[in-house]
Chains A and B, each alone.
Chain A
Amino acid sequence: MKPADFPPPFRAPEYVAVPSDPEGERIEVGVLVVGAGPAGLACAIRLGRLLADAPEIRERLGEVPVAVLEKGKAAGSHLLSGAVVNPRALRRLFKGRKRIEEMPFFGPVAHESVYMLTQRRALRIPTPPTMQNDGNYVASLSQLGRWLASEAEAEGAMILAETAAEKLLVDGGRVRGVRTGDKGRGRHGEELGNSEPGSDIVARVTVLAEGTQGHLTGVALDRFGLHGENPQVWALGVKEVWKVAKPLDRVIHTMGWPLRPQARYREFGGSFIYPMGDDMVTLGMVVGLDYRDAGLSVHDLLQQLKTHPFVRRILEGGERIAWGAKTIPEGGFLSVPRQLHAPGLLICGDGAGLVNVPALKGIHYAIESGALAAEATFAALRRGETPWRPGALAGYDEALQQSFVWSDLQEVRNMRQAFGRGFWLGGALAGMMTASRGRFPPGNARTEPDSEQQILPAERTSSYPAPDGRLTFDKLSSVFLSGNKTRDDQPNHIVLRREVPRELAMLWENMCPAQVYEAVEHGVDVTPSNCVQCGAITAKGGRLTPPEGGSGPEYTLT
């Protein structure tokens, strides 16, 4: 049995609409960016710069030349990453205007080590070439996002927070913008006293920068038939930030325990432990969602990891101060949509799957793709061009293919798939790929969707440590620390089948780091207000849609 046997009652066409507000009541903006993350904000910043030198184009874009929609409470609220950032794309974005020292980084990576963990021991191994971080910087992506948002505002962009993009507005084959989600609806969709309908926001160009599991990105890929050669697959990352007693002097990655190397379990992943200045450490666990054990819980594997003597020592005398979870698109080059533009539409960042799994990097690709999307948009706004003419935005795909983003991703295109064959064989294949810069083995490896993996009976659940409230925690305490205080009586935003076999219900219950699902007799119970919108459910047989704007976690340090 597999999750895909129970597909969610989700119909993408229901999220495509023609503008319905009367002409005078639509919100008209020049360029609409969906998502205030690194991709969307880089796009807004670059566009602001370009428009500053082209007042006649800016004039034509109206009162709001660039708007950025954000479903979180504020820019940064839904941003989470490791993160060790390659500053390459930021340097290009802020060329001559901002130095790295002015950006919100916790300093450059000074030392790094990779360890192979067994239950009791940590063996240092040579750092794989793909994972070297010389010249990179440690950051909180949430902080970086807030800073980028203020830079975007300084460039004239308007950021509309607490606003979910619910439907893609398409008229005559051309993307016209988005319809925002209703607010103030009750559990059964009824209008509450403070209800407020969504609005049509129309634009000349719409840039989808929604990040991992982008809701409208998925809808657009279906609507315009843009899916890539391989389906997208994801990993789930759960992380914590700790205030610590003693500084950590290096960036650490671990492989091995508590994950199992056998191919049949398909447990691909590892942990990261990064210093955030002298008094904070962030650590997280990332596991590919092609895993099979119905008992696997990344949240609890992270708790287990902390009980390892090697990790416990780092956290000793410390206190957990932040928590969060998010999925990472791991399909790589071959899962990138075959085209990243449609009439009036561009797709960038994680939503486009621009992630280098062996290097554990994606933020600089998001920024670069956002900047390139801005340049293509700007070119299409010039007099004599029509931005929604088919092909008017093709310059974006061309520029991306000429950029380092493309060559980086192409080189490692088969690496993630190799680990579907277990840790040891996968590791050996990855080594060959690195040595040959992606030429060997030749060809393109296939990927199966995460939801197509057979479910194995829950073997893991008994091995997780009991939460002690100091080192190890239960899921609800974690959700609390994410700042999530979503209104309980709003409609359920998670589309899935309620009546499912026990194994699948157990898989969901264990998978979810925020305790949204509970296996009950004949199926699953859902507590949507716990959801931190990580997106794992979409990979494993359900579908996440955006809840009311402003819901979900309020990350500040993740």
Chain B
Amino acid sequence: MTSTLVFLEHHGDEILKGPLGVLSKSASLGDGEVNAVVTGSGVRALAGQAGAFGAARVYVADDAALEAPLSQPRVDVLARLVRDKGIETVLFANSVLAADVAAGLAARLEAGLNWDLTDIARENGKLVGKRPALQDSVYVDVGWKSEPRLALFRSGSFDPVASDGGSAQVEDVAVSLEDFSTAARMVERAHEESEGPSIEDADVVVAGGRGLGGPENFTLVEELAKALGGAVGATRAVVDAGWYPYSTQVGQTGKTVSPKLYIACGISGAIQHKVGMQASGVVVAINKDPNAPIFEFADLGVVGDVHQVVPKLTELVKQRKGG
């Protein structure tokens, strides 16, 4: 009889989909008991959510010391559970916190941690992880030489599958922390403030390239994006030149976006850019060079000066929206 523990992470009063996916995958392997652990302050109510995803038992470590999302106190909780409950396998879904806890637990228990897995299976009686390698061109099978076995799964590896009527036994565990685990404290929590939607979620992306002529002209792009309720993107060339932050870079070595509408302003459309936005719904290109490659894959092309076309477009959008 094997025993598996899944680390459940939560935001607010919801357990994240990632660990629930790992939990339901683990339960579907159908060998041994699959348990889960919730850590935090005032989290006891969350434990019930896990039953439907296949947890036989949910351990709850509820303590004010676990309020902040810091890793070491959680390592204390998990290390003790592994020792006291004879747990052989601990599974994590990737996140900043989970990766930190997994690494800390591996060090604490001198356990083997397989990283970046996308699947797990039992083959010939052995637990085998699947890990993509060489730019995801091949999958390699990985295993563990000893117990406990630790694994961290890539985001989105498994969809949470709820079974009907499963309910978990909830068990409180005592929280006792090592001195060194309380050395770190949370000073401040902040959300990245961004106006409008993030570039990856936006329905409209207005992107600027070198054709804008200078960083000051990005206001043209920003205003159009604002009028359309969209996000601002940039090409590698302008990010390299320091005109706009890297977080907005669209392309091979930046973000991959697929909005319903993509407006490219002064962007030539090199393939390195194209691969980051080719899945967009409608692509509109504004460029003064009629031979720019972007016109080969744009749905709508405007050959003209971005400095004149974009402000007029913004004006029109505002009028329509206003009227």
Q: List chain A positions with a Cβ less than 8 A from chain B.
A: 73-74, 466, 469, 474, 476-477, 479-480, 485-489, 527, 529, 554
B271 touches A488 (CB 8 A): no
A476 touches B270 (CB 8 A): yes
Indicate whether A477 sits within 8 Å of B252 (C-beta atoms), given known contacts A469-B293, A488-B240. Answer: no
A486 touches B253 (CB 8 A): yes
Shortest beta-carbon distance, A514 to chain B, in Å?
A: 12
By Cβ-Cβ distance, the 7 closest A-B pairs, closest first, are A476-B270, A480-B271, A488-B253, A477-B271, A485-B252, A485-B253, A480-B272
B270 touches A488 (CB 8 A): no
Ordered by A's residue number, 11 sampled pairs between the chains whose C-beta atoms are within 8 Å are A466-B291, A469-B296, A474-B293, A477-B270, A477-B271, A485-B253, A488-B236, A488-B239, A488-B240, A527-B237, A527-B240
A525 — nearest CB in chain B belongs to which residue?
B241
A488 touches B246 (CB 8 A): yes
Known: A488-B246, A489-B246. 11 other contacts (CB 8 A): A474-B270, A474-B293, A476-B271, A476-B272, A480-B270, A485-B253, A487-B253, A488-B236, A488-B240, A488-B249, A488-B253
Shortest beta-carbon distance, A494 to chain B, in Å?
A: 14
Neighbouring B residues of A474 by C-beta, 8 Å: 270, 293
Neighbouring B residues of A529 by C-beta, 8 Å: 236, 253
B249 — nearest CB in chain A belongs to which residue?
A488
Shortest beta-carbon distance, B68 to chain A, in Å?
A: 19
Shortest beta-carbon distance, A467 to chain B, in Å?
A: 8
Neighbouring A residues of B236 by C-beta, 8 Å: 488, 529
Shortest beta-carbon distance, A361 to chain B, in Å?
A: 31
Give the interface residue-count category, chain B: 10 to 19
Shortest beta-carbon distance, B37 to chain A, in Å?
A: 27
A476→B134 CA distance, assembly (Å): 23
Neighbouring B residues of A74 by C-beta, 8 Å: 134
B253 touches A73 (CB 8 A): no
Neighbouring A residues of B135 by C-beta, 8 Å: 73, 554
Interface residues in B234-293 by Cβ distance below 8 A to A read 236-237, 239-240, 246, 249, 252-254, 270-272, 275, 291, 293
Shortest beta-carbon distance, A200 to chain B, in Å?
A: 24
Shortest beta-carbon distance, B213 to chain A, in Å?
A: 14
A489 — nearest CB in chain B belongs to which residue?
B246
Neighbouring B residues of A469 by C-beta, 8 Å: 293, 296
Neighbouring B residues of A476 by C-beta, 8 Å: 270-272
Among B135, B249, B275, B291, max chain A CB count under 10 A is at: B135
A74→B137 CA distance, assembly (Å): 13
A199→B212 CA distance, assembly (Å): 44
Shortest beta-carbon distance, B154 to chain A, in Å?
A: 16
A489→B254 CA distance, assembly (Å): 11
Shortest beta-carbon distance, B127 to chain A, in Å?
A: 27
B239 — nearest CB in chain A belongs to which residue?
A488
Interface residues in B98-134 by Cβ distance below 8 A to A read 134
Shortest beta-carbon distance, A186 to chain B, in Å?
A: 10
A73→B253 CA distance, assembly (Å): 16
Shortest beta-carbon distance, B94 to chain A, in Å?
A: 14
Shortest beta-carbon distance, B270 to chain A, in Å?
A: 4
A466→B270 CA distance, assembly (Å): 15
Neighbouring A residues of B237 by C-beta, 8 Å: 527
A469→B295 CA distance, assembly (Å): 13
Among A466, A476, A479, A486, max chain B CB count under 10 A is at: A476
Shortest beta-carbon distance, A414 to chain B, in Å?
A: 44
Neighbouring A residues of B239 by C-beta, 8 Å: 488
A159→B314 CA distance, assembly (Å): 56
B241 — nearest CB in chain A belongs to which residue?
A525
Neighbouring A residues of B252 by C-beta, 8 Å: 480, 485
Neighbouring A residues of B134 by C-beta, 8 Å: 73-74
Neighbouring B residues of A489 by C-beta, 8 Å: 246
Neighbouring B residues of A466 by C-beta, 8 Å: 291
A474→B296 CA distance, assembly (Å): 14
A303→B36 CA distance, assembly (Å): 61
Among B271, B293, B296, max chain A CB count under 10 A is at: B271
A554→B237 CA distance, assembly (Å): 22
A489→B249 CA distance, assembly (Å): 12
A479 — nearest CB in chain B belongs to which residue?
B272
